[in-house]
Amino acid sequence: MIEQTWRKSSRSSSAAQCVELAVTDRVTGVRDTKNRSGGVLVFKARAFRAFLAGVKQGR
């Protein structure tokens, strides 16, 4: 479990389908905003940064 502050994108509206992130130096956690007690996907920080870079480049 990640013991960090969870945050939602500032671009998400309150009614939108969105996720929340908790970021540490080592991992990034991703969870469904509507089901906060549900499962959490945990990615190594380096892998998540590579994923975001790919999204930003349109890959």
pLDDT digits (tens, 9 = 90+) for 39-50: 899 999 999 999
- In sequence order, the 6+-apart residues with CB closer than 8 A to the CB of 7 are 20, 21, 22
Please state the domain extents for the chain: 7-57
45: Cβ–Cβ under 8 A, 6 or more apart, which residues? 23, 24, 25, 26, 27, 28
Q: What is the pTM of this model?
A: 0.74
Q: In the prediction, which pLDDT does 50 show? A: 96
pLDDT digits (tens, 9 = 90+) for 7-16: 987 777 666 6
